[in-house]
Amino acid sequence: MIFLHSLSIALLVTLVSSADVKKEENVLVLNKNNFDGVISENKYVLVEFYAPWCGHCKALAPEYAKAATSLANEGSEILLAKVDATEETDLAEKYEVRGYPTLKFFRNGKPTEYNGGRTADDLLKWVKKKTGPPATTLESVEDANKLKDSAEVVIIGFFKDQESDAAKAFLEVAAQMDDHPFGITSSDAVFGEFSVTKDGVVLFKKFDEKRNDLFEDITQENLKKFISINSLPLVVDFSHETAQKIFGGEIKFHNLLFLSKKASSYEKLVEAFRKVAKEFRNKVLFVTINTDIEDHERIMDFFGLKIEDAPGMRLIRLEEDMIKYKPETADITEESILSFVQGVIDGKIKKHLLTQDVPSDWDKNPVKVLVGKNFDEVALDKSKDVLVEFYAPWCGHCKQLVPIYDALGEKYKDNANVVIAKMDATANELEHTKINSFPTIKLFKKDTNEVVEYNGERTLDGLSKFIDTNGEYGRAAPQEEVDEEEEKEGKADPRKDEL
């Protein structure tokens, strides 16, 4: 008993009160000495693992501090904290931090992944949703109006019978969706205030048509689709915060308008874009992408656009692969936008494949330069084995491979049966070959044109063996998954990046 008593005292002494921890703008600064104590003694703690040099972390910092201050002013039991993961490497390893920023929510000491947005409003909505009931009970008109006015999008369930299947489906969806606040009411006064005459769901929003109703077939699936589609404005401005909502939504056709917000024609073009968007509501998502933002340059590269091409438009269809479409005219008017979108939907406009012009010296060096226009002629030449590296100019692994691949070209330059080639896969696309990461190395075998992907070591010896064994050494297994590090470095699809 004396031992247990002494142990309990020792444990209590080691706990660190959150009141004693250093704060920066109401955000607790955690380290290996105080982390466990703060997590143990507080019911709810959201922790950001960051790196001082990380651009996204710097962008998050003022929003994170704003959310922390708001919670502190409310006297909330929810705390926000941060850990410099470059200094506290043991903590970062323990909680499996693989990128920055990584946010984890601790409820009674147990961590879960944060998957909300990165504005103060998003952070507050998410933590409050996780710590409260899935939907706020609205007893009065005052309660309902207060909730309605609290956010850009609010969903209220009107159910006389809250034990009905529809009401249960509503509450289940409310528990699963963290982006927006939910309310539920049985009050006759609230029904009357919003002209609701039967059980259903109303989505209130501070933009576009202001309100959307769902009164039939209220199932979880239908509710999720209803909310996903109607919670976005007619025209969505692309950002880190909206990216997941855009690409994770129900609508698979996206019309993208690349333009500078500084341009004198900005308002006029967006208004034309918005007018056409009304015609395709629930069918096509209209998205603006600000070309003034440096991070968006890679997205433009993906579509073969340069800054001087703005304003420019591209339409994509999200299937297993992303299919791109290019308008036949560079003019952007209400009529041209309508014609372009309708033409894609009707199948009258063919998909667009990027290609560069064939360089005049494409075959001057031992490593041949391929583009979309000459790829089939060279790579599918059945008289030769053709090894092709698909690369991206910005890819770190690709840059490391350059001297090795050049040496490989030198080694086989006099072999009449082998061609060593490369293609910039960010500027050239092929109908028959899809590239999902960089670098990707494929052997197009002579006689049959069988394609074998290489997944061995990226050394001169390894690549030579791959060629000399007719694609057996280092051969990638069918549907083989890309290494996690490689995937982060060499994304070929902007859905996996900022777009």
pLDDT at residue 104 tops 60: yes
At 304 the pLDDT is 82
Q: Give phi and psi for 111, each to the nearest 5.
A: -85, 145
Could you please report the per-residue DSSP string of 60-127? HHHHHHHHHHHHHHHT-SEEEEEEETTT-HHHHHHTT--SSSEEEEEETTEEEE--S-SSHHHHHHHH
At 25 the pLDDT is 94
Could you please report the per-residue DSSP string of 452-498? EEB-S--SHHHHHHHHHTTT-TTBPPTTPPPPHHHHHH-B-SGGGTT
At 64 the pLDDT is 96
For the chain, give every domain's residue range: 23-131, 136-231, 235-346, 368-469
User: If you search the block for the tokens 């239908």, which residue do you land on?
Assistant: 222
pLDDT tens digit sequence for 118-130: 899 889 988 988 8
- Closest residue by Cα to residue 382 from 435, 288, 305, 451: 451
CA distance 130 to 192: 31
Tell me if 149 sits within 8 A of 119, measured CB to CB: no
At 132 the pLDDT is 85
CA distance 38 to 436: 42
Catalytic residue flag (residue 224) = no
At 12 the pLDDT is 37
Q: Which of 23, 36, 37, 54 is catalytic?
A: 54
pLDDT tens digit sequence for 70-79: 999 999 999 9
At 116 the pLDDT is 85
Write down the architecture of domain 235-346 according to CATH: 3-Layer(aba) Sandwich (3.40)
Instruction: Look at 189-203, 224-238, 297-311 and tell me which has the smallest mean pLDDT.
Output: 297-311
Instruction: Look at 163-177, 228-242, 335-349, 389-403 and tell me which has the smallest mean pLDDT.
Output: 228-242
At 20 the pLDDT is 79
Instruction: Look at 58-62, 256-260, 262-266, 477-481 and tell me which has the smallest mean pLDDT.
Output: 477-481
- Closest residue by Cα to residue 446 from 379, 375, 347: 379
Catalytic residue flag (residue 364) = no
pLDDT tens digit sequence for 377-427: 999 999 999 999 999 998 999 999 999 999 999 999 999 999 999 999 988
Computed over every residue of the chain, the mean pLDDT equals 89
Tell me if 24 sits within 8 A of 7, measured CB to CB: no
At 117 the pLDDT is 85
Average pLDDT over residues 449-473: 95
- Under DSSP, is residue 18 helix (H, G, I), strand (E, B) or coil? helix
Catalytic residue flag (residue 395) = yes
Q: Which of 257, 398, 408, 418 is catalytic?
A: 398
pLDDT tens digit sequence for 55-74: 899 999 999 999 999 999 99
Q: Give phi and psi for 169, each to the nearest 5.
A: -65, -40
Tell me if 201 sits within 8 A of 185, measured CB to CB: no
Average pLDDT over residues 232-261: 89
Look up the pTM and report it.
Answer: 0.62
> Given its phi and psi angles, is residue 272 left (phi above 0), alpha (psi -120 to 50 degrees) or beta?
alpha
- Give CA torsion, residues 490, 459, 387, 487, to 10 deg: -10
Q: Which of 30, 154, 367, 395 is catalytic?
A: 395
Buried b (16+ CB within 10 A) or exposed e, 158-187: bbeebeeebbebbbebbeebbbbbbbbbbb
pLDDT at residue 89 tops 70: yes
pLDDT tens digit sequence for 263-317: 999 999 999 999 999 999 889 999 999 999 988 888 888 888 889 889 999 999 9
CA distance 138 to 145: 9
CA distance 378 to 369: 10
Asked if the domains 23-131 and 368-469 are classified in one and the same CATH topology, the answer is yes
CA torsion through residues 20, 23, 27, 33, sign: negative
At 272 the pLDDT is 96
| CATH code matching the domain that covers 23-131, chosen among 3.30.310.50, 3.30.300.30, 3.40.630.40, 3.40.30.10 | 3.40.30.10
Please state the separation of Cα 421 from the chain's center in Å: 32
Burial class (CB in 10 A: 0-12, 13-18, 19+), 485: exposed
Radius of gyration of the CA atoms of the chain, in A = 28
pLDDT at residue 7 tops 70: no
Percent of residues, the chain, with pLDDT higher than 70: 92
**Sheet with 284-290: strands ordered across:** 235-237, 284-290, 253-259, 312-318, 322-325
Instruction: Look at 232-236, 352-356, 360-364 and tell me which has the smallest mean pLDDT.
Output: 352-356
At 484 the pLDDT is 35
CATH number of 368-469: 3.40.30.10
At 476 the pLDDT is 78
Q: Give phi and psi for 121, each to the nearest 5.
A: -65, -45
Report the topology of domain 136-231: Glutaredoxin (3.40.30)
At 492 the pLDDT is 52
pLDDT tens digit sequence for 154-187: 999 999 999 999 999 999 999 888 888 999 999 9
Q: Which of 38, 39, 57, 270 is catalytic?
A: 57
Catalytic residue flag (residue 445) = no
Buried b (16+ CB within 10 A) or exposed e, 312-348: bbbbbbbeeebbbbbbeeeebeeebbebbbebbeeee
At 18 the pLDDT is 56
pLDDT at residue 360 tops 90: yes
Instruction: Give, as one character, the DSSP assignment of residue 387.
Output: E
Could you please report the per-residue DSSP string of 181-220? -EEEE--HHHHHHTT--SSEEEEEESSTTSEEEE-S---H
